[in-house]
A and B are shown apart, each in its own frame.
Chain A
């Protein structure tokens, strides 16, 4: 058990949240969704419930029955939730923008900080030290005059030298015209909004043979959404732009990160020349050091990671009165990890300090124990308990009149336990299964309270409890591969505190837009470089009101994919054809419009050399 540099540099939630579920999305799946928004990938592979306002429009998440503000989205370890809204619009995050994706379930405050109440989504960049020069060109054409283009370049110096350089430049653009040949689908209107998206990813890594490494990661995105584009009076435009820059220097067990994130948002109706403007900058510094404690200890490895983070926020928002508002946030933390042959234990503690605000201490404790450890089979039991919190969003604290700088932090306690099995049933048949149960209690849940003309208050107490079951079976023999991945989640989440006289209609009722049951199925057959896949996702009814008097019916959505790779000399053409919503199922958006019926998309991804898309 040695401690590699890569391990030390792994971001905290991947290494220090023992006992909690961490789902890594494999590279095949990432490639399969290369021309999709992250939402499509996650709905087909996780139980996360998304609330969509329409194709190409705002999409927010409910992770394990929490609100859109309770999921931390990390990019290379830095929280990139838009700070004014305290959430991420997942329609603006294309899968093409990152190399790695993992989903961390449950509260992660001790390793992440604010927002990680229901869970976290971990996006990452990854250096490719092998490729000297690689080119990628991709194009997708799809129904409704929708299209996308991707251009990528990977480059690097020769391996083995004292200094090595590796880089990636990736450009993407998409234009969703959503030009439906019908105005209504099953008597529901379809919503013709247009979305134009552009992005640039620039990664540069320099490493020395002795292990020191400098990384520069930049991700620039621009999203331009226009509702009712055909009507010059009613049209609405929302433009969001994010610039994210992160520099990481790692030497030995020490990692220093410096980052800058700028989020711009412009909203206009009718006249697009004078939008409401929001501009927020964040400057981030983080220093971490990892120690191996008692290195002489036999059979056990104990690591301690200590760190501190400092963020400076500057926001200028029309809704706050237009003046500059600044604040500082600091975090200090100590993360302890013990690993033996059978045990993995983590014990963490974190304290944040925020200008004009008092965040709680967030400890966590988790453990995993290998109940069965044989050559073919491993069965692990897991359990964890952790505290979480959320710093209210800038809007919640600074919005003129309605915001309240003196809000209390929302605070949660997450308990979970589970079993995880990997087994080679036969030499050709592999099984993994994962069962988790949790209870997450979030108090002081913030609400824009309609009773006080929408002033922001700490009002609610939400208890979410449920479980997840995920299982994958793969079969490989003589050039054939087949697989089946099933997921099921039970999510019961409800408001439990009465704070007004009509609360009896709401208490204990399922929170809106969170289905109690969700399921996913992915099945595929592959021969050589050709694969046929079926993706299915289903959810039970989604209540749309707090008293559960109205709901959208349960739905089953099916996609069919076929893909193949053609090799021409050293190059490869990967061709994918996809039928979305194969059975023309009716799926309704938040604004009560139908999502489109069956549609097709075809994409080609050229890569040279073949093995580096």
Chain B
């Protein structure tokens, strides 16, 4: 330990001596460029994790948050990972009430900066960039009994996170089972989890952190992404809705003829990939229906598209959540690259 410090001091002194007019460069990061995978873990074991695959590598580094922070634990399913102004947010959902967390870490090193806990955070689902140093985290809130129909508290909320201070500054009442979020201009569109019974999109102004409008979408709405033309695409049941966020109008509905298990936008933002229970299809934003030919004859429980390379990441779970899932990678052309073992139930991809 002491030796480590001494070496560090000597190195710092040398560095300062050589570049004494410059500030020191940040520590080289072990997690520079690659994909982060949010693993949900097995239900009730609370054993989610973050996997990292460096660009150009086909080997996964497992449980990297704990590797970077050996005294901390991830006790829950990792629901989402986001990056806001150099800070990583990791959403951790425990099966027990009041044990959920959002860990805020340094980008690149994953060293923990702050931990958000109950009552600010209850059943965190997704995180998005809202404004400089401001993240939104959608939360279901405390869940009740499924059989009694009180599972989802109505409404759920969006936690406004100051990523520098590491605090929740406000909880915005949003929609029941608040989940998917997409930022369009200065508004965040918040939808509901599937089968939750929430049918509205809440629109939040990121400057005032207020809900400015709720739009009924006729079913549980999951905002997916903004396309190359600036249109917001929203998945409602078996239909993709092309939505003009500024005008608040539906421009087009594309029937998918199946309930997708996963969905992602392509690198050029001109098409969408989605999986049904045994195939994966692609349709262009100009299409009015889904082409009949599948791009892959298999289904993925989550899809991620690398925005830099266009590489397709699809996750496949073994039938049992007592063992690690795999990520299968394809070129943008559809050619198979490889298959990488991640951790239990890989469910979201974040590219950096």
Q: Does A568 contact B (CB under 8 A)?
A: no
In the complex, A186→B147 CA distance in Å? 35
B324, A545: Cβ atoms closer than 8 Å: yes
- Residue A227 interfacial (CB < 8 Å): yes
CB within 8 Å of A: which B63-102 residues: 71-73, 75-76, 94-99
Task: Quote the shortest CB–CB distance from B164 to chain A (angstroms).
Answer: 23
Q: Which residues of chain A in 478-521 are interfacial with respect to chain B, using CB atoms and an 8 Å cutoff?
A: 500-502, 505-506, 512
Report Cα–Cα, A475/B240, bound state, in Å: 80
Q: Are A591 and B98 in contact (CB under 8 A)?
A: no
A263 → chain B, closest Cβ, in Å?
22
Q: Is the CB of A228 within 8 A of B97?
A: yes
Question: Across the A-B interface, how many residue pairs have beta carbons closer than 8 Å?
Answer: 105
Contact between chains at B318 and A592 (CB < 8 Å): no
Give the contacting residue for B47; candidates A450, A544, A547; CB below 8 A: A544
Interface residues of A (CB under 8 A from B): 186-189, 191, 227-228, 231, 233-234, 268-271, 274, 276, 449-451, 500-502, 505-506, 512, 544-547, 549-550, 590-593
Complex contacts, A505 vs chain B, CB 8 Å? 318, 323-324, 341
Establish whether residues A271 and B145, one from each chain, have CB atoms under 8 Å apart when the complex forms. yes
Residues of B within 8 A of A269 (CB): 144-148
Nearest 3 A/B pairs, CB to CB: A234-B97, A502-B318, A451-B319
Given A270-B150, A505-B324, A591-B96: A545 in contact with B75 (beta carbons within 8 A): no
Q: Which of B38-46, B187-195, B229-237 lines the interface with chain A?
A: B38-46
Report Cα–Cα, A233/B123, bound state, in Å: 13
Name the residue on B nearest A231 (C-beta). Answer: B97
Residue from the list A228, A233, A450 in contact with B321, Cβ < 8 A: A450
Q: What are 26 A-B contacts with C-beta separation under 8 Å?
A: A186-B71, A187-B71, A189-B99, A228-B97, A233-B142, A233-B143, A233-B144, A234-B96, A234-B142, A269-B145, A270-B145, A271-B150, A276-B147, A500-B318, A502-B318, A502-B323, A546-B320, A546-B322, A546-B323, A547-B323, A547-B324, A549-B344, A550-B47, A592-B75, A592-B94, A593-B75
Cβ distance B305 to chain A, nearest Cβ, rounded Å: 25
Name the B residues within 8 Å of A189 (CB-CB). 75, 94, 96, 99
**Contacts A228-B96, A270-B145, A549-B343: A187 and B73 contacting too (C-beta < 8 A)?**
yes
Determine if B145 and A591 form an interchain contact, defined as CB atoms under 8 angstroms apart. Answer: no
B42/A545 in contact, CB under 8 A: yes
Chain B residues, CB < 8 A from A592: 45-47, 73, 75-76, 94
Q: Which of A189, A451, A501 has the most CB of B within 10 A?
A: A189
Beyond the given A227-B96, A547-B324, could you list 8 further A-B residue pairs with CB under 8 A, ordered by the A residue number?
A: A450-B321, A505-B318, A505-B324, A506-B320, A549-B62, A549-B324, A591-B44, A593-B96
CB-based nearest A residue for B101: A189
Q: Are A233 and B322 interface neighbours, CB within 8 A?
A: no
Are A547 and B148 in touch, CB under 8 angstroms?
no
- Given known contacts A269-B144, A545-B42, A592-B45, A233 and B153 CB-to-CB distance under 8 angstroms: yes
| Alpha-carbon distance between A270 and B97 when the two chains are bound, in angstroms | 12
Most buried by A among B73, B142, B146: B73
With contacts A233-B150, A500-B319, A502-B323 taken as known, whether A544 is within 8 angstroms of B143 at the C-beta atoms is no
**Considering the chains assembled together, what is the distance between the CA atoms of A76 and B40 in angstroms?**
45
Query: Which residues of the other chain, A, contact B143 by a CB distance below 8 angstroms?
Result: 233-234
> Which of A227, A231, A506, A591 interacts with B323 by CB under 8 Å?
A506
* Known contacts A187-B71, A231-B98, A234-B142; A590 and B148 CB within 8 A of each other: no
**Which of A231, A512, A545, A590 has a CB less than 8 Å from the CB of B344?**
A545
* Cβ-neighbour of A188 out of B47, B73, B323, B341 (below 8 A): B73
Q: Which of B96, B146, B150, B321 has the most CB of A within 10 A?
A: B96
Which has the most chain B C-beta neighbours within 10 Å: A270, A271, A276, A592? Answer: A592
Q: How far is the CB of B157 from chain A (nearest CB, A)?
A: 14
Distance in angstroms between the alpha carbons of A595 and B179 in the assembled complex: 33
Query: Roughly how many angstroms separate A449 CA and B94 CA in the complex, as a whole number?
Result: 24
From A270, A450, A547, A591, B144 is in contact (CB under 8 Å) with A270
In the complex, A545→B341 CA distance in Å?
A: 14
The distance from the CB of B210 to the nearest CB of chain A, in whole angstroms, is 26
- Using a Cβ–Cβ cut-off of 8 Å, how many residues does chain B contribute to the interface with A? 37
For A228, what are the chain B residues with a Cβ–Cβ distance below 8 Å? 96-98
| B residues in contact with A449, CB < 8 Å | 319
Q: Shortest CB–CB separation between residue A183 and chain B, in angstroms?
A: 9
Q: Within the complex, what minimum Cβ distance (angstroms) separates A91 from chain B?
A: 17
For the complex formed, measure the closest distance between the CB of A225 and the CB atoms of chain B, giving whole angstroms.
13
Nearest Cβ in chain B — how far from A48, in angstroms?
A: 22
> In the docked arrangement, what's the CA distance between A274 and B145, Å?
11
| Chain B residue contacts of A451, Cβ below 8 A | 319-320
CB of B323 within 8 A of CB of A549, answer: yes
Residue of B nearest to A550 (CB): B47
> In angstroms, how far is the closest chain A Cβ from the Cβ of B40?
13
Determine how close the nearest CB of chain A comes to the CB of B124; give it in whole angstroms. 15
User: What's the Cα separation between A50 and B349 when bound, in Å?
Assistant: 36
CB nearest neighbor in B for A190: B99
Q: Are B322 and A512 in contact (CB under 8 A)?
A: yes
Contact in complex: B72, A187 (CB < 8 Å) = yes
Tell me whether A545 and B319 are in contact in the complex, defined as CB-CB below 8 angstroms, given that A228-B98, A592-B47, A593-B75 are known contacts: no
Q: Which residue of B lies closest to A191 (CB)?
A: B96
Query: Which residues of chain B come closer than 8 Å to A546, judged between CB atoms?
Result: 320, 322-323
Complex: A563 Cα to B343 Cα, angstroms: 49
Q: Complex Cα distance A591/B145, Å?
A: 19
B98: chain A residues at CB < 8 Å are 228, 231, 234
CB distance from A505 to the nearest CB of B (A): 5
Known A233-B143, A591-B96; judge A545-B322 contact (CB<8 A).
Answer: yes
B343: chain A residues within 8 A (beta carbon): 549-550
Q: Is the CB of A274 within 8 A of B148?
A: yes
Binary interface profile of B, 317-351, with partner A (CB < 8 Å = 1, else 0)?
01111111000000000000000010110000000
Asked if B47 and A545 make an inter-chain contact with CB atoms under 8 angstroms apart, the answer reads yes
With both chains docked as a complex, state the minimum distance between the C-beta of B125 and any C-beta of chain A, in angstroms: 17
The chain A residue with its CB closest to the CB of B99 is: A189
Given known contacts A591-B46, A592-B45, A592-B46, A231 and B319 CB-to-CB distance under 8 angstroms: no
Q: Which residues of A contact B341 (CB under 8 A)?
A: 505
Residues of B within 8 A of A270 (CB): 144-145, 148, 150
Rounded to whole Å, the gap between the CB of B62 and the closest CB of chain A is: 7
CA–CA, A231 and B76, complex, Å = 19
